[in-house]
Structures are given as C-alpha cells and as structure tokens.
Chain A
Amino acid sequence: NAGVTQTPKFQVLKTGQSMTLQCAQDMNHEYMSWYRQDPGMGLRLIHYSVGAGITDQGEVPNGYNVSRSTTEDFPLRLLSAAPSQTSVYFCASRRTETGEQYFGPGTRLTVT
C-alpha cells in the first residue's frame, strides 16, 4: 500500500511554461485535493474532487486546472507558470468512513 504518491519531487519552470503535477492514491478514496504551502504559511486549498468526474474550486484556484478521470489519479495542471506559483504542492486523499486525510510527500516547484 503506497498511500499517496506525487511526482515529481522537485521541478523548476520558466515563466509561461506549463506542466502537470501528478498525484495517485491506492486506497480507493473518493475525495482528493490539492494544496499549496508558501513559506511560513498554512496550507491553502487549490482544487478538490469528491469522486471521478467531479471537481470543484478551493481557496486559490486561479492558474490551475484539474480533472478526475479515475478514482486513483488527480493531476494538477499549471497552464502558464508564474513566479507567484513558486510553492510546495501537496496532494491528499480522504477516507470516506472516518474523514481523515492522507498527504503525499509534496512537489517543490520553483518558477523563474
């Protein structure tokens, strides 16, 4: 049971480039979400999904797209990277019965 996995661990982009952060879970959780964490701050919710085919916006969705074609995968797309998107990105999945979330190790993104 790998839990929640994220790739890549580190990424450097130039302004204007696009990329996809991958997230996968093997716990058959319906609910998945993406957060970003900036230095000295808490986690801010970007997008979330309550099941395959269903996504919704969180606190800071601008500049990011998501889709959920399978229960296992929840990729986050940066459409045109900006320096303000330099951050650590965490993916999480949530156990339906009891509500606790499990987080991936994070992706550290730098946009120059």
Chain B
Amino acid sequence: DAKTTQPPSMDCAEGRAANLPCNHSTISGNEYVYWYRQIHSQGPQYIIHGLKNNETNEMASLIITEDRKSSTLILPHATLRDTAVYYCIVKGGYQKVTFGIGTKLQVIP
C-alpha cells in the first residue's frame, strides 16, 4: 500500500464544514483513495472512495487533487456524532489494507 500522512488531530465547530486532509504522494495510477471512520470503540465504517474525480455521497465529499498526491474529506455540516478517528487509505486491486493512526476529529458544540 502507498503510505498516507494525516494530521493526528483536528477540531471543528458544530455546524461548520470539517475538512480532513490526507497526503499520498507515492500513490500509483491504479490505486484508489478510501476514507473510513471509527467512532469510539466501534468497528471502522466506510465513508467514501475515489480514483481521480471528486466524489460525493450522503455522508461526505472527497476532493482529490489533479496530481492525485493529496485529498480532502469534507463533512459539510459537522455534528457531535461526527466526532471520530478518520482514516485515509490508498489501495489498488487485491492489495492488503493497513491502517495508520488516522486523524482524531473533535466536533465542538
């Protein structure tokens, strides 16, 4: 897997957009960017993924730079329930997936 780099922690005010960055400068052409989150001690939850185009679903938006070396996960209106650890993963094909430490997002009332 390509290595990813994320800030260890971030704060966001409730109701504001949370923008979580991820660097993946060694990403290969066939590798996708995936985002997961883990709320407290629950199992990680899939959020969104993309290859090179921006993606949006009911949970979040994913913005991938043109050179694909970095991406940003956007939670448009953060709520207290979005407080979690967010993991950025880069993977292609049948590659095994490993998780780093992720970004601990704290949503503040």
Give A residues with C-beta under 8 Å from B.
Answer: 4, 31, 33, 35, 41-45, 48, 50, 56, 58-59, 88, 90, 92, 94, 98-106
Contacts and interface: CB of A to CB of B under 8 A. Distances in A.
Contact of A99 (B41, B44, B49): B49
Interface residues of B, number: 20
Contacts of A90: 43-44
Chain B's interface: helix, strand, loop or mixed, by majority? loop
Chain A's interface: helix, strand, loop or mixed, by majority? strand
A101 B36 contact: yes
A24 to B, nearest CB: 14
Interface of B: 32, 34, 36, 41-46, 49, 87, 91, 94, 96-102
B96 A33 contact: yes
Contact of B98 (A4, A56, A59, A103): A59
Nearest to B45: A103
